[in-house]
């Protein structure tokens, strides 16, 4: 299919497990979104609720291996011109 990729309709998180080292900085930044499991894995919410969006951005910024990708949904436009 040819054309532009559609923006996500929801704020979505993904973690590249190939580079994540389970440091846990993301857990400290966004405990509602990330969790280290007792077995040493990382669990996270794939859909970010609007109230957690800023924490998700902080986690993505602070991750030392840049493992976190955040695809933000387009915010609704209010019409008119900027
Ligand atoms: S901060 Fe980055 S490297 Fe550390 S656990 Fe979270 S995603 Fe993995």
Q: Judging by DSSP bridges, how do beta strands 12-15 and 42-44 pair with one another?
A: unpaired
Please state, in angstroms and as integers, the Cα–Cα distance from residue 25 to each residue in 42, 48, 55, 67, following that order: 11, 17, 12, 11
Top pLDDT among 7 and 32 is at 32
Ligand 1 site-directed mutation target among 63, 64, 66, 70, most atoms within 8 Å of CB: 63
Q: Is residue 9 part of a domain?
A: no
Q: Is residue 54 part of a domain?
A: yes
Q: Is residue 61 part of a domain?
A: yes
**Enclosing domain of residue 52:** 25-70
Q: Is residue 56 part of a domain?
A: yes
Q: Is residue 17 part of a domain?
A: no
pTM of the entire predicted model: 0.84
Q: How many domains does the chain have?
A: 1
Q: Is residue 57 part of a domain?
A: yes
pLDDT tens by residue, 37-65: 999 999 999 999 999 999 999 999 999 99
Q: Looking at residue 58, which CATH number applies to its domain? A: 3.30.70.20
DSSP bridge pairs for 70: 13
Chain mean position to CA 28: 14
What does the radius of gyration of the chain's CA atoms come to, in whole angstroms? 15
Predicted confidence band of residue 75 (pLDDT cuts 50, 70, 90): confident
């Amino acid at each position: 299919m040819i054309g532009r990729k559609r923006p996500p309709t929801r704020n979505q998180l993904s973690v590249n497990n190939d580079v994540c080292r389970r440091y846990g900085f993301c857990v400290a930044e966004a405990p509602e979104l990330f969790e280290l499991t007792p077995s040493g894995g990382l669990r996270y919410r794939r859909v970010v609720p609007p109230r957690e969006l800023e924490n998700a951005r902080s986690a993505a910024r602070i991750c030392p291996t840049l493992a976190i990708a955040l695809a933000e949904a387009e915010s609704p436009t209010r019409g008119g011109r900027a």
